[in-house]
Structure 1
Amino acid sequence: MRTVTVFAPASVGNVGVGFDVLGHAIEGVGDTVTLRRSPGPGMVLTQISGVITELPRDVEQNSATRPLLRMAQEHGVEGGLEIELHKGIPLGSGMGGSAASAVAAVVAADALWGLGLPMNHLLEYALEGEGAASGAAHPDNAAASLYGGLVLTEPGPPLCCTRLPVPSGIACVLCHPDLEVRTRDARSILAATVPRELWVRQSAWLAGFVAGCLRDDLAQVARCLQDEVIWPQRARLVPGAAAALEAARAAGAIGGSLSGSGPSVFAWTPQDKAAEVATALSHSFAATGIPCETWISTPDAPGARVVSGG
């Protein structure tokens, strides 16, 4: 194989209830990486296109290319490599953009170099890129983008991921207001400790949410889709988010929160209410003078995949 192109989807990080351990993929938007063998030495990022072009071109600093350096070193890969990155995910959107770039790159490299690595090894490499972009190698977005669907990640090493079943008839509406929140900044405002009583309550919400997914119990999922730890600290970063989520619930959503660190918000909703919830989110942000874009997806959307190669 001389060249390969991989698409990796955007994702909802945290899914409200599971800070840094839950995420799910989103259909219809993502990043694409093309790798091409080159006669010249080393790795070169030859092109950045799409909704963002002002990104680091130093291969040590870009989230798509940094993991490839470690992969090549650890697996004895020699020869030059040209890399093209097409960004479909806006910068600082809370949609897992850095994770998608890293995931697309490592899946492409695994295919191009014929490594055949296990998925959890690919995830560990992708987290090199996530760390380069956000300063913290949290796996929720990268795991969802790689595996697809709703993914729970256990602490490592080694990282272990479980793709959870999604309740029947559920859609996710993802709304991206025209704002930017840097992940580094959003993590820096979080308290270093959590009171014991709050830790117990949030643990119970997470356990109940997972149990509801496993049992296909939509009432339990709706009851437990709660975030008493992160949302109260981050809500002020996104003007209009609280009102938008209230409008979504009024339109039929069972719950929602910030997607990752924001500014995007997500709402889980019965499929037959998805269009109404999308309209409610858009109109709510528009009322504050903030334009936005929305996507309707299953939370069980597919993960990264090779789209061409030869």
Structure 2
Amino acid sequence: MNYIKAFAPATVANVACGFDIFGFALDEPGDIVELRKRDEPGIIIKDIIGDEGRLPREPERNAVSVVMLKFLEHIGSTQGVEVTLHKNMPLGSGMGSSSASSVVGIFAINELLGRPLTQRELLPFAMEGERIACGAAHADNVGPSLLGGFVVIRSYSPLDVFKVKVPDELYCTLVHPDVEVNTKDARYILRNEVSLKNTISQMGNVAGLIAGLMQEDYDLVSRSMVDVIIEPVRSILIPEFDHVKQAALDSGALGCSISGAGPSMFALSRGRDTAERVAKTMSEAFGSVGITTKSYVSQINQQGPKVLETA
């Protein structure tokens, strides 16, 4: 194999109460990478399409390629690679844009070189892409994008990640308003200390959400999608947040919160019809104040990244 084209999906991280520990993958959107072997050593970013020239072209500074550099060093390879990245989601969107780049990069080069590492062994490399992009090597985006499904990060030291079974009728609505929230800024405004009362409440919701998903108890899922720690702080960065959230709930969503660091918002619903209706009302709520949106509806993507083409 001398050429590969691969896809890695967008993700919803935090999932209301699960800051930095919950995340799940979507069917779309996602990033696409094309890799071609070179005769000379080294990684070259040939082109990045869709970023409006905002992402660095130096391999050691871009999430899609820094993971490849670390991977090649780890396996002791001097294989040269030419990279073309297709960015199919906005930067600073709250949809795991940087993680999709990291995951598609590490997944594609592992496939191109004959899978020397397992999918799960690729996770620490993907996390390094997040460190380059936003300053923190968190796994709640790269975990689900790489492994698929609904992922829990039980521990970062040592890294302990597992997947949770979700109901087949569970659908996500993801709505991206045409505003930008910088992930570093969204982390900076968070408080370093949390009250005991809020900690207890959040722990109860975390446990309830996992139990609700595993038992297909939609009422429990709904009651547990409450974030008393992060959402009250970050929601001030999203115009019309309360209005949009209430519109989702009024349309039948089980719950609604911030996707990642925002400004995208997500809702979970039972059934595609409800999720489609929620997408319409959330978009209309943003539109009532002149904010344009793009929305996506999908089940939880259980596959993660995939190969699109080889040669």
What residue number does 1:75 align with? Answer: 75
CA contact (8 A) 1:25 1:145 kept: yes
What residue number does 1:234 align with? Answer: 234
CA contact (8 A) 2:218 2:270 kept: no
AA in 2 matched with 1:42 = G
Cα distance, 1:158 vs structure 2: 4.3
What residue number does 2:250 align with? Answer: 250
CA contact (8 A) 2:120 2:147 kept: no
Give the Cα–Cα distance (whole angstroms) in 2 for the partners of residues 280 and 211 of structure 1: 29
Q: CA RMSD in A?
A: 1.3
Identical-pair percentage: 40
Give the Cα–Cα distance (whole angstroms) in 1 for the partners of residues 302 and 96 of structure 2: 14
What residue number does 1:43 align with? Answer: 43
CA contact (8 A) 1:120 1:158 kept: no
What residue number does 1:62 align with? Answer: 62
Tell me, which stretches of 5 or more residues in structure 1 are unaligned?
none
Please tell me whether residue 105 in structure 1 is matched to residue 121 in structure 2: no
**SS of the residue aligned with 1:235?**
helix
Give the Cα–Cα distance (whole angstroms) in 1 for the partners of residues 5 and 61 of structure 2: 21
Q: Are residues 74 and 51 of structure 1, via their aligned partners in 2, closer, same or farther at CA, if it must alter by over 3 Å? A: closer
Give the Cα–Cα distance (whole angstroms) in 2 for the partners of residues 111 and 200 of structure 1: 44
Q: Are residues 216 and 138 of structure 1, via their aligned partners in 2, closer, same or farther at CA, if it must alter by over 3 Å? A: same
Give the Cα–Cα distance (whole angstroms) in 2 for the partners of residues 279 and 262 of structure 1: 19
CA contact (8 A) 2:107 2:119 kept: no
Q: Are residues 304 and 189 of structure 1, via their aligned partners in 2, closer, same or farther at CA, if it must alter by over 3 Å? A: same
Cα distance, 1:54 vs structure 2: 2.1
Give the Cα–Cα distance (whole angstroms) in 2 for the partners of residues 106 and 278 of structure 1: 32
Give the Cα–Cα distance (whole angstroms) in 2 for the partners of residues 186 and 2 of structure 1: 40
What residue number does 2:294 align with? Answer: 293
CA contact (8 A) 1:99 1:129 kept: yes
Q: Are residues 7 and 168 of structure 1, via their aligned partners in 2, closer, same or farther at CA, if it must alter by over 3 Å? A: closer
What residue number does 1:309 align with? Answer: 310
CA contact (8 A) 1:52 1:91 kept: no
Q: Are residues 52 and 258 of structure 1, via their aligned partners in 2, closer, same or farther at CA, if it must alter by over 3 Å? A: farther
CA offsets 1:114-173 (integer angstroms, 9 cap, x no match): 243123321110011111000011100101111111111221344232221113422110
Runs of 4+ in 1 over 3 A off after TM superposition: none
AA in 1 matched with 2:38 = S
TM-score by length of 2: 0.96
Alignment of 1:1-310 (within 5 A): 1-50=1-50, 52-271=52-271, 272-310=273-311
CA contact (8 A) 2:177 2:294 kept: yes
> Across the two proteins, how many residue pairs are aligned to each other?
310
TM-score by length of 1: 0.97
Give the Cα–Cα distance (whole angstroms) in 2 for the partners of residues 170 and 198 of structure 1: 28
Give the Cα–Cα distance (whole angstroms) in 1 for the partners of residues 2 and 164 of structure 2: 36
Give the Cα–Cα distance (whole angstroms) in 2 for the partners of residues 117 and 256 of structure 1: 37
Give the Cα–Cα distance (whole angstroms) in 2 for the partners of residues 159 and 111 of structure 1: 23
Give the Cα–Cα distance (whole angstroms) in 2 for the partners of residues 5 and 157 of structure 1: 33
**SS of the residue aligned with 2:152?**
strand
CA contact (8 A) 2:72 2:79 kept: no
Tell me, which stretches of 5 or more residues in structure 2 are unaligned?
none
